[in-house]
Structure formats: C-alpha cells, structure tokens
A = this chain, B = another copy of it.
Amino acid sequence: MKWPAIAVSCAVAAGSVIGVTLSHGAPATAVVTPTTATSPIYGVSLPDGYRQWQLVGVAQETGALDELRAVVGNAAALLAYRSAALPFPDGTVLVKLAWEREQSAEFAPAFVPGKPTTVQVMVKDSKRYAATGGWGFGRFVDGKSADEAQHRTCFACHNTNVRDHDFVFTRYAR
C-alpha cells in the first residue's frame, strides 16, 4: 500500500493547529493552517542555514514597528560587500531578521531583541527577476510567507529609495 500523498511542511508556524488523520484506504483528512513556504510573485523561500551566515549590518526601525534588526548574507553577498562591488552578483542572498525592541531587564539603558517579528529575504537573479531590479523578495512570519499584497510593496520602496545602491538598503557595517 501507499500512504496518501500529503505534503505537510516542516515550516509549520508555532501555534498552528494541525490535525492530520491518515487511514488506510480512505482519503486523508487534513486540517492544516496554510504554510506557504515560498513568497507569492517571487517564489522566494527561507534559505537553509541563514542563521549561520555572516553579519552585514544592524538597524533600528522606529515608529509603529519599533524593531531591532540584523542583516546577514551568504558568501556571495559578503564578498560583494567587502569589495564594495555593485551590482551584487547573481546568487546573492540577503536575510533580514527582525525582533520587537525590548528594554533589557538587566541594564535599563539597553534595548535588546524581543519576540521575532519577520524574516525578510532578497535573492539576486538578474534574469528571473529582471522586472524588479534583479531581485526577488520574500517576507516571512513564523516561517510562513506574507501575502501577495505585502509583497507588492517590496520593490516599489526599494526602487524609490535605493536604486543607486542596487536596490539594497543595508550597508556593510565595519
């Protein structure tokens, strides 16, 4: 016999309710909170092992978001940053981790990462993403992609503000 073909992503968000009944001979009943592992429009996914990547820079986002952030990059990204060569080569991947900005309980003047909020990805592929400066975008919350409307805003903002830096906000922090 074969099990019914059910793909249950490993990237299920914490807190999702999942009930899967597998019974031989009967269709599987699966109630799964959708986990779209790839972003709409761009088809970008969270890269494996990005938390082990090297640091590009950090940032604070004020206003309603009130976040602390870090951007890490793959080997191609760091090589490009360190040689200050633009545009970034195809294969460059940047990942921005963001957390709620939280006052340190141990040292009042310091603010530290609280709950993770979003993980945002930029992938350089000048052919595939020719219409958006060569970049594909992905925005993830708890490992799950945000919706298409949110992804429509990515390139518009990067194009307006950092077209002259190959559409990338973050600089290398020495």
Q: Which residues of A contact B (CB under 8 A)?
A: 51-55, 57-63, 65, 68-70, 72, 97, 99, 101, 104, 106-107, 109-113, 116, 157, 161-162, 169-171, 173-174
Output the nearest chain B residue to A161 by Cβ-Cβ distance: B106
Q: Which residue of B lies closest to A69 (CB)?
A: B58
**Minimum C-beta distance from A104 to chain B (A):** 7
> CB distance B68 to A110 under 8 Å?
no
> How many angstroms from the CA of A62 to the CA of B65 in the assembled complex?
18
* B107 and A161 contacting across the interface, CB-CB below 8 Å: yes
Q: In the assembly, what is the distance between CA of A143 and CA of B112, in Å?
A: 26
Partner of A112, one of B53, B57, B109: B57
Instruction: From the candidates B69, B97, B110, name the one contacting A169 in the complex (CB within 8 A).
Output: B110
